[in-house]
Amino acid sequence: MGATRRGADVHRTAITGLAIDAEADRLAQAIDGRITLVHADGRVVGDSSVDGPELASLDNHLERPEVRIAREGQVGVVERYSTTVLADMLYAAVPARHPEIAYVRVALPLTTVTRQVTRIGAAALLAFALAAPVAIGLAWLSSALLSRRVQAIASAARRYGAGDIRRPSHDYANDELGDVARVLDASVQDLGRRAEELARDRAQMEAILSGMVEGVLIVNRQGRLQLVNRAAEEMLNVDASALGRLYLEVIRHPDISAQLTTALGGETSPPHELPLGRDASRSFVARAAPVSLAGGGGAILVLHDITDLRRADQVRRDFVANVSHELRTPLTAIRGYVEALIDEPSDADHTRHFLDIIARHAGRMERLVTDLLRLARLDANQEPLEITNCDIERIFRTVVTDLTPSIAAKEQHVTMVVAPEAGVVPVDPTKLHDIIRNLVENAVNYSPERASVYLEAHHRSGWVEIVVSDSGPGIPPADLTRVFERFYRVDKARARPGGTGLGLAIVRHLVELHGGTVKAENGAEGGARFTVTLPAQPDA
Ligand SMILES: Nc1ncnc2c1ncn2[C@@H]1O[C@H](COP(=O)(O)OP(=O)(O)O)[C@@H](O)[C@H]1O
Ligand SMILES: [Mg+2]
């Protein structure tokens, strides 16, 4: 009983003897194999292949290899040639819990097993053959789809990397990959916006810096040049290659270097005036101050070109000195003669002579003040242009008539030539009269007796040229441009007491007010030649 207690649960009760053998037959039929039921002592008590009476002739089965394994409580599976059924068989034996049956053995001809295994194999192969292409196809399809999307994302990323941050035209799908791509895209767009803002700010700053007339220069804490605008490049005679280098190496002006050194030390030095540039005639004011830069401290230097300021200042000073001098000369004379008259009263002729001199000097002073006031009005833009169509020849005639006493006194000869197309020009008549009068007056005054004075007007491609020339001594070439300066006279000693030295300055002012130009030359056959060019159309 102990050996069978662990076996399979076969019908316990009613089966005995023939019934057991019949049961073996029934089971064998159900599984289409051979069933052998073995008693605990090794006797075969039932077998589907052997019938009742022959059962007793069967060998003791205890030593059969599969039963031996079953006796140890396991499932014994063995392949062997059966002498009973005369075929290769697969045996499987298990212990059973039954009073008559200790072991149940199933035997299947190996051919059946092989056939079944082959059938299963074939079915598996068929299933594989059917499934594999579909699986491969699906895998290829999904990997191709995936790879195309990854490619698209990669190409967008490459485009972003190259600086083109236009949004990709396709929409990302609603899965994890799409999320990744969207997040990537959004952050790139955000970065792009910021980069754009930065670039805009930078461009703005660069435009301001390069448009500035002041030179600007920035060095970092290490003393390396971080920024040099165009004006500073020119003033300090450095180029763009100076960026990143030490200012002590690049800037050859000890004053500026010293200022930067002070500023890098955290202190602001007082503005310093110094000559700079290719011609040392220009003056600059340099001012350096410490600044805080992204990478720490630094210094900024600003250079102002004050040459024009200085020059204007000088001109003003000279002008005041000239005016004082010009006024003092007649004043001194007047005072001298007045004192002489007071001190020693003399005869009527003498007195008359003195009074004439006084009157002449007073007249000169008056002309001087008149011219000065006129220039002041012109400087202040207080003489607006009143343009009308004027007959040039008439203006010529008026001027010559005005000056006839002087011309006649020197027996000079005046020639007027007005080209027909230059007859009528749009100008301010009083101003053109003053221009021509000043020029003719000079020609008469600075030319000797019996000299010739020429007045011409002609048309030249949209402009009217008025030329006043004479057969006098002309003007030394070096003075040709300077004669238009205030109080400039070629020869101070020779200067007529009547002249103020302001006539040509007023002429230039009036001509420029018309949008024209005036120049002084010497004629081919000697003599001075003044050419006034005025626009022939009012709005030209
Ligand atoms: N036609 C000319 N011939 C020679 N010198 C001239 C002539 N016109 C002008 N100049 C020179 O130019 C100087 C400036 O002329 P202007 O401004 O009219 O002053 P002013 O006649 O009062 O001296 C004159 O002093 C003179 O030396
Ligand atoms: Mg004059």
Tell me the residue type at 112: T
What number does the ligand 1 atom closest to the CA of 506 have? 17
Q: How far is the CA of 365 from the centre of ligand 2 (A)?
A: 15
Q: How far is the CA of 483 from the centre of ligand 1 (A)?
A: 7
Confidence of residue 30 (pLDDT cuts 50, 70, 90): confident
What is the mean pLDDT of the segment spanning 487-505? 80
Query: CA-CA distance, 131 to 257, in Å (whole number)?
Result: 84
Closest CA to 383 of 219, 506, 209, 531: 506
219-239 CB burial, b ≥16 within 10 A, e <16: bbeebbbbbbbbbbbbbbebe
Share of the chain above pLDDT 90, in %: 45
pLDDT of residue 370: 94
Residues 303 and 231 sit within 8 Å (Cβ to Cβ): yes
Q: What are phi and psi of 457, to 5 degrees?
A: -140, 130
What is the mean pLDDT of the segment spanning 480-485? 94
What pLDDT digit, counting tens, does each position of 179-203 carry? 888 888 888 888 888 988 999 999 9
Q: How far is the CA of 530 from the centre of ligand 1 (A)?
A: 11
Point out which residues pair with 535 in neighbouring strands.
463
Query: CA-CA distance, 517 to 139, in Å (whole number)?
Result: 88
pLDDT of residue 497: 58
Q: Which residue has the least CA distance to atom 5 on ligand 1?
A: 475
Pocket-testing residue among 483, 485, 500, ligand 1, by greatest number of atoms within 8 A of Cβ: 483
* pLDDT above 90 for 294: no
Ligand 1 pocket check for 412: Cβ under 6 Å = no
pLDDT of residue 145: 84
Ligand 1 pocket check for 501: Cβ under 6 Å = yes
What is the mean pLDDT of the segment spanning 284-300? 87
Q: Is the dihedral of CA 185, 186, 187, 191 positive or negative?
A: positive
* pLDDT above 90 for 465: yes
What pLDDT digit, counting tens, does each position of 80-137 carry? 888 877 888 889 999 988 888 899 999 888 887 788 888 898 999 999 899 998 999 9
How far CA 504 is from CA of 132, 241, 327, in Å, comes to: 108, 49, 19
Point out which residues pair with 298 in neighbouring strands.
220, 291
How far CA 285 is from CA of 216, 233, 262, 275, in Å, comes to: 12, 15, 16, 9
Tell me the residue type at 21: D
Confidence of residue 377 (pLDDT cuts 50, 70, 90): very high
Say whether 442 sits in a helix, a strand or coil: helix
Which residues fall within 8 angstroms of residue 234, CB to CB, at 6 or more apart? 215, 277
**Ligand 2 being an ion, which residues bring their Cβ within 5 A of it?**
442, 499, 503
Q: How far is the CA of 291 from the centre of ligand 2 (A)?
A: 57
* pLDDT above 80 for 10: no
Q: Give alpha helix (H) positions in 242-347.
A: 247-250, 254-264, 307-343
Q: What are phi and psi of 375, to 5 degrees?
A: -60, -40
Q: Which residue has the least CA distance to atom 21 on ligand 1?
A: 499
Checking phi first, is residue 111 left (phi over 0); if not, alpha (psi -120 to 50) or beta? alpha
pLDDT of residue 506: 97
Ligand 1 pocket check for 446: Cβ under 6 Å = yes
Which ligand has the shortest distance to the CA of 451?
A: 1
Q: Of the segments 42-46, 112-116, 437-441, which one has the largest average pLDDT value?
A: 437-441
DSSP one-letter code for 96: B
Share of the chain above pLDDT 70, in %: 94
Range with the lowest mean pLDDT among 24-33, 488-497, 522-531?
Answer: 488-497
Which ligand has the shortest distance to the CA of 490?
A: 1
Pocket-testing residue among 365, 438, 444, 446, ligand 1, by greatest number of atoms within 8 A of Cβ: 446
* pLDDT above 50 for 3: no
Confidence of residue 393 (pLDDT cuts 50, 70, 90): very high
pLDDT of residue 14: 42
Q: At what angle do helices 110-161 and 176-211 cross, to 10 degrees?
A: 10
**R_g over Cα of the chain:** 63
Closest CA to 261 of 286, 242, 288, 238: 288
Point out which residues pair with 534 in neighbouring strands.
464
Say whether 51 sits in a helix, a strand or coil: coil
What pLDDT digit, counting tens, does each position of 68-89 carry? 899 898 899 998 888 877 888 8
Q: How far is the CA of 443 from the centre of ligand 2 (A)?
A: 9
What pLDDT digit, counting tens, does each position of 510-538 carry? 999 999 999 999 999 999 999 999 999 76
Residues 442 and 474 sit within 8 Å (Cβ to Cβ): no
What pLDDT digit, counting tens, does each position of 227-279 carry? 999 999 988 888 888 899 999 998 888 888 999 999 999 888 888 888 876 66
What number does the ligand 1 atom closest to the CA of 498 have? 22
The structure's pTM equals 0.57
Q: How far is the CA of 437 from the centre of ligand 2 (A)?
A: 9
pLDDT of residue 539: 57
pLDDT of residue 357: 93
Q: Which residue has the least CA distance to atom 1 on ligand 1?
A: 443
What number does the ligand 1 atom closest to the CA of 505 have? 17
Kind of pairing between the strands at 413-418 and 452-460 = parallel
What pLDDT digit, counting tens, does each position of 143-182 carry? 888 888 888 888 888 888 887 877 776 777 788 888 888 8
Confidence of residue 496 (pLDDT cuts 50, 70, 90): low
What is the pLDDT of the chain when averaged over all its residues? 88
What six digits make up the tokens of 13?
Answer: 């009760």
What number does the ligand 1 atom closest to the CA of 502 have? 17
Ligand 1 pocket check for 490: Cβ under 6 Å = yes
Confidence of residue 441 (pLDDT cuts 50, 70, 90): very high
pLDDT of residue 8: 45
Q: How far is the CA of 366 from the centre of ligand 1 (A)?
A: 19
Q: Which residue has the least CA distance to atom 9 on ligand 1?
A: 442
* pLDDT above 80 for 412: yes
* pLDDT above 50 for 327: yes
Ligand 1 pocket check for 442: Cβ under 6 Å = yes
Ligand 1 pocket check for 527: Cβ under 6 Å = no
Q: Which residue has the least CA distance to atom 12 on ligand 1?
A: 483
Pocket-testing residue among 372, 375, 442, ligand 1, by greatest number of atoms within 8 A of Cβ: 442
Ligand 1 pocket check for 107: Cβ under 6 Å = no
Ligand 1 pocket check for 224: Cβ under 6 Å = no
Q: Which domains does the chain have, with CATH numbers?
A: 2-111 (3.30.450.20), 212-305 (3.30.450.20), 311-379 (1.10.287), 388-535 (3.30.565.10)
Say whether 80 sits in a helix, a strand or coil: strand
What is the mean pLDDT of the segment spanning 475-486? 94
pLDDT of residue 153: 83
What number does the ligand 1 atom closest to the CA of 468 have? 1
Which residues fall within 8 angstroms of residue 46, CB to CB, at 6 or more apart? 20, 21, 22, 23, 24, 25, 35, 36, 37, 55, 101
